[in-house]
Amino acid sequence: MTNPSRKHLVLLGAGRANLQVLRGLARQGRGDLGVTLVAPHPYYIERGMLPGYVAGDYALEDIRIPLDALVEASGAGFVPAHVHALDPGARRVQLSSGDAMPYDVLSIDVEPVVDRDQTEAEMPGARRNALFTWPLESFVQLWPQLQSLAAERALHVAVIGGGRAAVELALACAHALAHPHGTRVTLVSDENPLLASEPPGLQRRMVARLKQLGVTVLQDRCTGLDGRELQLASGARLVCDAPLLAAQPGPPAWLLQAGLPLGEDGLPLVNERLQVEEHRQVFIVPPRAPLELGPVLEANLRTALDGGSFKKVPVQASRLRVLSCGAGRAAAAWGPLTLEGREVWHWKDRRDRRQLASLFKI
């Protein structure tokens, strides 16, 4: 599989930072380094533009970009596979293809996942009846089927989840499915306050948008799904044709079971260079990493392979928060200042398109 005479860098996952590493290798060359990208699908999906895709503002090809040109330009190999297990002691990754891939240095930047077994235990019937928003590749392919059904008759759609992704999805659905038959959308947001981690001004703007688009908000918890309705913790039942599960995703099981030290948040611990202290040849990109993390990650990967000085990860200093509101609108907050409207959406659209294009610009 690999030439044992040269060092091997393995990139697990087609996340933004790993793709920025590939872009750097394409521009600066990889020398005698062997590089392999492992990902389930040969695409990158921009999750920040997903609500726009659901709302109809983007076509699928606007947010899902093939990886082949970037991989070829970087000189890397591509293995389409899922990861089954990681053995950091042996420096080996077990893949769904059956291969055990060795590495000298490993960079992990994978798509988060929803634990379907745990979800099924908490909401019996979810595995069979719900449309999961993760993994993104599956969701973007199934979403047009729901659109087609809503074009035939009025539906009652329930979005299950209380975070910003669930709110953005509910608004996008309400806009996209309202015509021609008046499909209704309900957001089942758990018992916690809606968007509790967002600035108060932004919370108010988003609640107002939910009301304007006719989204019903239930601060209740889904405890089961049977195909025609949801069972709620309060004892109530909600008639539902299409439940969309927008639960908060987390690290994949194989990463949590690799024997790496975990923090209080349940995530693998890394230092300021993104290294696992006990296994310094393993680098992990955190869930809410800075957008332009790639150049620092690339420099640190090269240092781990060839020696030199490591760089610290830049601090995420921006206080800007931007959420999609459906119907070609977005809301933004900067400190106490909040704005909402079409102008904010146009700004967000230009920013997102520019950042996505730059990711694949060689």
Q: What is the pLDDT of residues 271-308, one digit of tens each?
A: 999 999 999 999 999 988 888 899 999 999 999 999 99
Kindly state the average pLDDT of the residues 251-256. 96
What's the rounded mean pLDDT across residues 32-39? 96
pLDDT band at 29 (very low <50, low <70, confident <90, very high): confident
Query: What is the structure's pLDDT at 284?
Result: 98
- What pLDDT, on the 0 to 100 scale, is given for residue 3? 53
In a domain? residue 40? yes
Q: Report how far Cα 166 is from the mean position of its chain's Cα atoms.
A: 13
263 band by pLDDT with thresholds 50, 70 and 90? very high
CB 335 within 8 A of CB 319: yes
pLDDT of 1 > 50? The answer is: no
Of 306, 329, 346, which one is at a domain's C-terminal end? 306
Task: HSE, CB side, 13 Å, CA atoms: give it for residue 347.
Answer: 13
- CATH code of the domain containing 91: 3.50.50.60
Q: Does 89 map to a domain?
A: yes
Q: Which of 29-33, 147-151, 270-274, 307-311 has the lowest mean pLDDT?
A: 29-33
> What pLDDT shows up at residue 206?
97
Boundary (domain end) residue, out of 306, 330, 353: 306
Answer whether residue 2 is part of any domain.
no
Gap between the Cα atoms of 325 and 198, Å rounded: 15
Residues 41 and 139 in one domain: no
Is residue 336 included in any domain, yes or no?
Answer: no
Domain tally, the chain: 2
Question: The tokens of 325 are what?
Answer: 């509101």
3-state secondary structure of 57: coil
Mean pLDDT of the chain: 94
The verdict on 239 and 147 lying in the same domain is yes
Q: Which residue has the tokens 């509101």?
A: 325
**Domain region containing 83:** 8-113+250-306
Closest-CA residue to 134 (of 257, 247, 30, 258):
247
Dist CA 67 CA 354 (whole Å): 17
Q: What percent of the chain has pLDDT over 70?
A: 98
Instruction: Show the tokens assigned to 37.
Output: 């990208």
Domain annotation covers residue 353: no
Residue 1 lies in a domain: no
Look at residue 362 in the predicted model and tell me its pLDDT.
86
In this structure, of 31-45, 171-185, 311-325, the range with the lowest mean pLDDT score is 311-325
pLDDT band, very low/low/confident/very high, at 31 (cuts 50, 70, 90): confident
Q: Give 203-247 pLDDT, tens digit per residue.
A: 999 999 999 999 999 999 999 999 889 999 999 999 999 999 998
